Chain A
Amino acid sequence: MKTQSQISLPRRRFVQGLALGAAGLGLGLNARQLLASQGHTGAPILTGDTFHLTLGGVDVNITGKTRPATTINGGIPGPTLHWNEGDTITLKVTNLLPETSSIHWHGILLPFQMDGVPGLSFDGIAPGETFTYRFTVKQSGTYWYHSHSGFQEQTGIYGAIVIHPRAPDPHTADRDEVVLLSDWSDEDPEHIYATLKKLSHYYNFNERTVFDTLSDFRNKGVIETLKDRHMWNTMRMSQSDLADVTGYTYTYLMNGQSPANNWTCQFKPGERIRLRFINASAMTFFDIRIPGLDMTVVAMDGQPVKPVDFHECRLGVAETLDVIVAPKADQAYTLFAQSIDRSGFVRGTLTPDAALSAVVPEMDAPPPLGHTEMGMGAMDHQSMDHGSMNKKAMDKDTMNHDHMQHHGMGHGDMTKGGMAHHGTAHADPVPFAVDSNNPDLPPRDSAIEHPASEFGPGVDMRAMAPGDMLSDPGIGLRDRPWKVLTYAHMETLGSTPDNPIDSLQPDREIVLHLTGNMDRYMWSFNGIKFADSVPLELFHHERVRITLVNDTMMTHPIHLHGLWSDLELGDGKLLRKHTITVKPGEKLSYLVRADALGRWAYHCHLLYHMEAGMFREVRVVDGSTSPAAASTPDTQAQGMHGTHNQDHGGHRS
Chain B
Amino acid sequence: MKTLMTLLAGSLTLAATSPALAMSKNEPRFTRVIVDQLEARDSDEGTVMAWEASAWHGGDLNKLYFSTEGERLMDPEHDDEDAGTEGAETRLAWNRAFAPFWDWQLGVRRDWQPDDPNRDWASVGVQGVAPYLFEVDANLFVGEDGLTNLRVEAEYELLLTQKLVLVPEIEANFYGKEDKELGLGNGLTDIEAGLRLRYEIRREIAPYIGVNWEKQYGDTADMTRAVGGKTEQGTLVAGIRFWF
Which residues on A are within 8 Å of B, measured CB to CB? 99-100, 117-120, 124, 148-151, 190, 193-194, 197-199, 202, 205-211, 233-234, 236, 456-460, 517, 519-520, 522, 529-531, 601, 610-611, 615
B25-A531 in contact (CB<8A): yes
> B160: CB under 8 A from chain A?
yes
Q: Is B161 an interface residue (CB 8 A)?
A: yes
In the complex, the answer to whether B132 meets A233 with C-beta atoms within 8 Å is: yes
Docked-complex contact B32 and A205, CB < 8 angstroms: no
Q: In chain B, what residue has the closest Cβ to A612?
A: B60
Taking a contact as CB atoms closer than 8 A, the residue among A208, A209, A458 that contacts B60 in the complex is A458
CB contacts (< 8 Å) of B97 on chain A: these are 457, 520
- Asked if B133 and A233 sit within 8 Å, CB to CB, the answer is yes
B32 to chain A, nearest CB (A): 4
8 Å CB interface, B187-244 against A: 203, 243
Q: Does B15 contact A (CB under 8 A)?
A: no
* Interface segment out of the listed B16-24, B73-81, B119-127: B16-24
Taking a contact as CB atoms under 8 Å apart, the answer to whether B22 and A148 are in contact is: yes
A-B pairs under 8 A by CB, number: 90
Which residue in chain B gives the minimum CB-CB distance to A230? B132
B159 at the interface (CB under 8 A from A): yes
Which chain B residues lie closer than 8 Å to A209 at the CB level? 159-162
Asked if A611 and B60 sit within 8 Å, CB to CB, the answer is no
Lowest 4 CB-CB distances: which A-B pairs, in order?
A: A119-B23, A457-B97, A460-B100, A209-B159
What is the bound-complex CA distance between A197 and B18, given in angstroms? 13
B21/A149 in contact, CB under 8 A? yes
B132→A234 contact, CB < 8 A: yes
CA distance A202 to B158 in the complex (A): 16
Instruction: Say how far B238's CB is from chain A's closest CB, in angstroms.
Output: 23
Chain A: minimal CB distance from B154 (Å)? 14
Q: How many residues belonging to B are interface residues under a CB distance threshold of 8 Å?
A: 31
| Residue numbers in A under 8 Å from B23 (CB-CB) | 117-120, 530, 601, 615
- Given A194-B30, A457-B99, CB of A236 within 8 Å of CB of B22: no
Q: Once the chains are docked, how many angstroms separate the CA of A190 from the CA of B100?
A: 25
Are A210's CB and B160's CB within 8 A? yes
Q: A198 with B32: in contact, given A120-B23, A530-B25 (CB under 8 Å)?
A: yes
Provide 26 A-B residue pairs closer than 8 Å at the C-beta atoms, listed in order of the A residue: A99-B20, A100-B20, A118-B21, A119-B23, A124-B21, A150-B19, A150-B21, A151-B19, A190-B18, A193-B19, A198-B30, A199-B203, A202-B203, A209-B159, A211-B161, A233-B131, A236-B101, A456-B99, A456-B100, A457-B99, A457-B102, A522-B60, A529-B60, A530-B23, A610-B22, A611-B22
Contacts of A517 in B (CB 8 A): 100
Q: Which residue of B lies closest to A601 (CB)?
A: B23
Chain B residues near A236: list those with CB within 8 A. 101, 129, 131, 133
Interface residues of B in 139-181 (CB under 8 A from A): 158-162
User: Given A457-B99, A530-B25, 16 more contacts at CB 8 Å?
Assistant: A99-B20, A100-B20, A100-B21, A119-B21, A150-B19, A199-B243, A205-B162, A206-B162, A211-B160, A233-B132, A456-B99, A457-B98, A460-B100, A519-B101, A531-B27, A611-B19
**CB-based nearest A residue for B102:** A457
- Note all chain B residues with C-beta closer than 8 A to A206: 162
| A234→B131 contact, CB < 8 A | yes
User: Is B14 on the interface with A (CB-CB < 8 A)?
Assistant: no
Nearest Cβ in chain B — how far from A288, in angstroms? Answer: 27
A460 to chain B, nearest CB (A): 4
The smallest C-beta distance from B45 to any residue of chain A, in angstroms, reads 36
Taking CB as reference atom, which chain A residue is nearest B27?
A531
Chain A neighbourhood of B21, CB < 8 A:
100, 118-119, 124, 149-150
What are the residues of chain B within 8 A of A148 when measuring CB–CB? 22
In the complex, how many angstroms separate the beta carbon of A120 from the nearest chain B beta carbon? 7
With CB as the reference atom, state the residue of chain A lying closest to B202: A202
Contact indicator B100/A457 (Cβ below 8 Å): yes
Contacts A209-B161, A233-B131, A236-B133; A198 near B243 (Cβ below 8 A): yes
Assembly CA distance A199 to B133 (angstroms): 15
Cα A611 to Cα B23 in complex, Å, equals: 8
Bound form: Cα–Cα A236–B129 in Å: 8
Interface of A is mostly: loop
For the complex formed, measure the closest distance between the CB of A228 and the CB atoms of chain B, giving whole angstroms. 13
Q: State A205–B161 Cα separation when bound (angstroms).
A: 9
Q: How far is the CA of A148 from the CA of B20 in the complex (A)?
A: 11
B residues neighboring A (CB under 8 Å)? 18-27, 30, 32, 60-61, 97-102, 129, 131-133, 158-162, 203, 243
On whether the beta carbons of A520 and B60 are closer than 8 Å, the reply is yes
Expressed in whole angstroms, the Cα–Cα distance for A457 and B128 within the complex equals: 11
Q: How far is the CA of A458 from the CA of B100 in the complex (A)?
A: 6
- In whole Å, how far is B24's beta carbon from the nearest beta carbon of chain A? 8
Closest to A117 in B: B23
Please give me the residue from chain B that is nearest to A531 by CB atom. Answer: B25
Give B203's nearest chain A residue, CB to CB. Answer: A202
B161 shortest CB reach to chain A, Å: 6
User: In the complex, A460 Cα to B21 Cα: how many Å?
Assistant: 26
| Least Cβ–Cβ distance between A21 and chain B, in angstroms | 30
Q: Measured between alpha carbons, how far is A151 from B24 in the docked complex, in Å? A: 12
Rounded to whole angstroms, the CA-CA distance of A459 and B30 in the bound complex is 20
Most buried by B among A99, A120, A197, A459: A197
Task: Across the interface, name the chain B residue whose C-beta is closest to A193.
Answer: B19
Question: Closest approach, in angstroms, between the C-beta of A369 and any C-beta of chain B?
Answer: 16
Given A202-B203, A209-B162, do A150 and B20 touch, yes or no (CB 8 Å)? Answer: yes
Within 8 Å CB of A529, what residues of B?
60
Q: Chain B residues near A150: list those with CB within 8 A.
A: 19-22
Cα-based distance from A189 to B100 in the complex (angstroms): 26
Cβ contacts under 8 Å, B27 to chain A: 531
Q: Which of B20, B22, B101 has the most CB of A within 10 A?
A: B22
A173 CB → nearest B CB, Å: 36
A211 CB contacts on chain B under 8 angstroms? 160-161
- Cα of A211 to Cα of B162 in the assembled complex, Å: 11
Q: Is the CB of B22 within 8 A of A207?
A: no
Instruction: Please name the residue on chain A nearest to B157 by beta carbon.
Output: A207
Question: Nearest chain B CB to A253's CB is how many angstroms away?
Answer: 22
A513 to B: closest C-beta gap in Å: 15
Are A190 and B19 interface neighbours, CB within 8 A? yes
* Contact in complex: A519, B19 (CB < 8 Å): no
- A517 to B, closest residue via Cβ: B100
Q: What B residues does A99 contact at CB under 8 A?
A: 20
A460, B131: Cα distance in complex, Å:
12
Residue of B25, B60, B129, B160 with highest tally of chain A CB at under 10 A: B60
Considering the chains assembled together, what is the distance between the CA atoms of A520 and B98 in angstroms?
Answer: 12
Per the bound structure, the CA–CA distance linking A529 and B161 in Å amounts to: 35
Bound CA–CA A519/B103 (angstroms): 13
What is the minimal beta-carbon distance from A236 to any residue of chain B, in angstroms? 5
Residues in chain A near residue B133, CB distance under 8 A: 233, 236
CB of A615 within 8 A of CB of B22, answer yes
- Complex Cα distance, B210 from A433, in Å, reads 59
Q: How far is the CA of A243 from the CA of B121 in the complex (A)?
A: 43
Per the bound structure, the CA–CA distance linking A120 and B22 in Å amounts to: 11
